[in-house]
Amino acid sequence: MLLALDIGNSDITVGLWKDNQWKHVWRISSRPDLPELYYGVKLRDYFYESGTVVDLVETIVLSSVVPAMTDKMKNVSRTLFEKEPIVLGPKVYAALPMKILNPFEIGSDLVANAAAAYFKYKQTAIVVDFGTALTFTTVNATGEILGVSIAPGLKTAIKALSQNTAKLFDVPLEIPASALGRNTITAIQSGILIGYEGLVNNMVAKIKAELQEPCRVIATGGLSSVITPLQRLFDSVEPNLTLDGLCLIGRHINS
């Protein structure tokens, strides 16, 4: 079994790979202020509730964009699973059949996305990741990451607006019936969700124009299915693409 840990700014996504599929995918809030014991107990409980024996984990692959969480989860891996995790970074990148753009600067989650696209499809691809940030990662057929674009994610943008109005609003991630907002909630929904539809369409079109070659467009991230009109833009929607990349990297390193 392989355990993938994707540590983001909002959540830690935990994937357990067995028999060529993700048997379990769990989420834990990413809270640097909490002790590593908290995360160890959460993971142990998930394994217990699913009837999975921790000793069966053979490989652990870890991606983190939250430095304060990295050592905590490394220690959890050592204590709970008695395994040293493969931590994505420049040393690991050097062992991949890929060319990583700015290896000391690029987010490891973006590398995992690019690796998944490269290993799975071996063609130029644009990965659109709807997470805390909205990212566009472009990788070519030889595994070279050509570039990255970053914008605030949907929840990040909505939170920024709703928390800075005179009154606090809980804004659902739902596309409004009209672009003409009739109240604060529908106005924010219109500006963000309908606006982001245009943002994503325009970014993908601009990237394709620069590439001047056929490419696959892949959507991933927990919010990848929220803006339904965008579905026709994507060749595939793969919510677990980042985990797929971690799994494929781990298997390559151990091969």
Active-site hit among 6, 71, 109, 129: 109
Q: How far apart are CA 24 and CA 3, in angstroms?
A: 10
> Looking at the chain, which runs of residues are DSSP E strands?
2-7, 11-18, 21-29, 59-64, 86-87, 125-130, 133-139, 145-152, 216-220, 236-237
Return the closest-CA partner of residue 130 out of 153, 107, 156.
153
Return the closest-CA partner of residue 136 out of 58, 29, 210, 39.
210
Return the closest-CA partner of residue 244 out of 138, 116, 149, 73.
116
Does 109 participate in catalysis according to the annotation?
A: yes
The continuous run of DSSP H or E covering 40 comes out as helix 36-49
Question: Helix, strand or coil for residue 204?
Answer: helix
Q: How many other C-beta atoms can be found within 10 angstroms of the C-beta atom of residue 218? A: 23
Return the closest-CA partner of residue 172 out of 229, 162, 11, 222.
162
The answer to whether the Cα torsion of 205, 153, 239, 103 is positive or negative is positive
Tell me which residues are annotated as active site: 109
